[in-house]
Structure 1
Amino acid sequence: MGPVADPSDVTGDPYLSVVVPVYGAPESLRPLHARVRDVCATMGVTYELILVDDRCPKGSWLVVRQLAEEDSSVIGLRLSRNFGQHAAIQAGLSSVRGTWIVVMDCDLQDIPEEIPALLAKAGEGYDVVRGRRAVRADAWHRRAVSSAFYRLLGFLTGTEQIAEVANFGIYHRRVIDTVTSWDEELKYFPAIIQWVGFARTDLNVSHGQRHEGKSSYNYHSLINLAMSVIVGFSDRPLKLVMSAGLTVAFLSLVVSFAVVLLHFVGAVRVEGWTSIILSLWFIAGCLAFALGLTGLYVGRILVEAKGRPNFIVDQTMNGIKLGNRSGSEKTSSARTKSN
């Protein structure tokens, strides 16, 4: 990947696309728009701001509509229901036109003023520059849970997952085209970006305070997300269960031979129902766990086979209406406004 292209070499499409999944924090949208607009004006680049309303119950769509009516660079997408953050990101990525794509959150914890630094770093020959939060502005227990989540996720998916790196970053168009080019029921954005490769680096960025609302991820939703991502992304848990089963079987065989041998030489008497019952319970628990894990994978296969869309766009502002799994099949190439 060579240096960043001259923004003046345009073909009518914006140079920068900023994709923002929106859920909660409606009061942050106007400041976010103003700061993104000012940053792009300072850099001298054309841009589009794609705000994807994940059916927020707090009236975010009204603000998105107002911004789109005031500024044609604002693209509004409203999903038909709450599909989740990463489905909303996918919906936004499926409609980008820019050469470079920024993904960031709507609550201003991802700081728009860091975009020039990310773009400059990309100019050194990188296709992906992820923002690494050098100092996280979250509570200590939130950081601890997040760190444990990413460590477990990285181990079970066989990828490097860093708690300080989330969605915020800048990505070349060919990376995003690759990500949106195949059908997959769950696309967890950080893991997919890690998996696709390309020239990638991280850049330390500031992490802002949350100005409004709270994270939509609680402990329960984090656990559900981890299970969905692990099952949908990797078969490593199945291999670990198989390895554990083989290890237990081998150790049981060794212990059985040892006990029988000691019994025949009179060193030990094999008796007692307690040890037998405990062993059976242990084995039954292991079998139940293995069957449950297998069931999760079978369920994932069923979901993939159904071919249901990851997201459905209900309304658009200044944009095209999408309604497919990957965003590769667009109903029109024209930018239209609908209510």
Structure 2
Amino acid sequence: MDISVVIPIYGCRAALEELHRRLTDTLVAMDKEYEIILVNDNCPQNSWEVIQQLCKKDKHVVGIELSRNFGQIQAITAGLDYSKGDWVVVMDCDLQDRPEEIPNLYKKAIDDQLDAVFARRAERKDSFMKVLVSKAFYKIYSWASDGNYDPALCNFSISKRIVVDNYCKMRELHRAFVIYVKWMGFRIGTLDVHHEERYEGKSSYNFKKRMKMATSILTSQSDKLIKLTVGLGFVVSMCSALVIIGLIIHYFTTSVVTSGWSSIIATICLMSGLLMMCIGIVGTYVGNIFMQVKERPLYIVRTVLNDKENKECKTL
């Protein structure tokens, strides 16, 4: 198998036929042996029916149905686990990632002898809030991880089998494809691509979900927030000590006791807020550890169609 294309499916039923057509035209033109892996992440639009039809009429399509909604990155991981290609493409199902860019990603990887090439969306066709949250997250994550992460990068990529195999060995619950691949240290390149409008509807990731995902990834991949609370505690303690010393000096030089219940109450409230924030940060880390030590599977597969090498995994 030369190329596997892994696509998590959620909320894009109307785009599946067009996605399959454009992918097939592109991969046939490349003259490579290929497979298209469609991972249904329990889409509420019942996309599984369309995937079943595509599997019946095209032996190159592998359909994977998860038992429930596990999330985009878990669906991607499922597809990567089942992929067999020497090169593996990861892309979204909404056609914002153009299938016609796959040959360009492949060519750059071959010409520059790279292990992985990620698409860089120079002009994103996303909402202002989505772009803002993405930029803020990667800015904070770059600081937390002592790295340099480009917010214009996306999951749309092509990777060698060695990259995919090593990614699949890491089974952390909170994961991010781009961040993990960069962490592994392989030769990685980027390619500017055209980012299109969504084929239909809007993204299922609202602000709350994005913030939850960002917090989970940040606290599971870096300990800098914990160190920040230590530094914050030290600074507050030093400031408090200086204030106490100042009050003592003021008393002995003027013999006047400084009063001010309002300032005392305000200080207590401030300290309580800082303490609760620090406890919350520590609690988030502890919560991540609690979820990880359960060692539950990242996903559960209900059905697999057209997967000749994993017949025993077709149903639970």
Task: Report the TM-score, using the length of structure 1 for normalisation.
Answer: 0.88
Aligned ranges for residues 46-65 of structure 1 at < 5 Å?
46-65=33-52
Q: Give the letter for the 2:134 counterpart.
A: S
Write the deviation string for residues 105-131 of structure 1: whole angstroms up to 9, x where unpaired: 000000011111111111111111110
Aligned counterpart for 1:39 among listed residues 22, 26, 33:
26
Q: CA RMSD in A?
A: 1.9
Aligned to 2:180, what secondary structure does the other structure show?
helix
Instruction: Give distance in 2, aligned partners of 1:160 and 1:233.
Output: 14
Could you say which residue in structure 1 is the equivalent of 2:302?
314
Classify the secondary structure of the residue corresponding to 2:169.
Answer: coil
Distance 1:282 1:70 in 2: 65
User: Residue 142 of structure 1: CA displacement?
Assistant: 3.2
Query: 1:77 aligned to 51, 58, 64, which one?
Result: 64
| Aligned: 1:101 with 2:76 | no
| Alpha-carbon shift at residue 250 of structure 1 (Å) | 1.7
Counterparts of 1:300 and 1:28 in 2: how far apart (Å)?
A: 35
Instruction: Indicate whether 1:236 and 2:240 are aligned.
Output: no
- Three-state SS of the structure 1 residue aligned to 2:254 is coil
Unpaired runs of 5+ residues, structure 2, are: none
Greater share of helix:
2
| Deviation sequence 1:251-304 (CA, Å, 0-9, x none) | 222232233223322297422211111111111111111111111111111111
Deviates more, 1:107-116 or 1:149-158: 149-158
State how far apart, in whole Å, the 2-side matches of 1:16 and 1:278 are. 63
Whether the 8 Å CA contact 1:159–1:191 is kept in 2: the answer is no
For 2:33, the aligned partner's letter is: T
User: Is the 2:171–2:298 Cα contact (8 Å) retained in structure 1?
Assistant: no
- Give the whole-Å Cα distance in 2 for the aligned partners of 1:209 and 1:335: 39
Q: Distance in 2 between matches of 1:254 and 1:49?
A: 65
List runs of 5+ in structure 1 lacking aligned partners: 1-13, 321-331
| Whole-angstrom CA distance in 1 between matches of 2:37 and 2:121 | 23
Q: What number of residue pairs does the alignment pair up?
A: 315
The answer on 1:223 being equivalent to 2:211 is yes
Distance apart, 1:175 and its partner CA: 0.8
Alignment partner of 1:87 out of 61, 71, 74: 74
Shift of 1:338: 6.6
- How far is 1:336 from its partner? 7.9
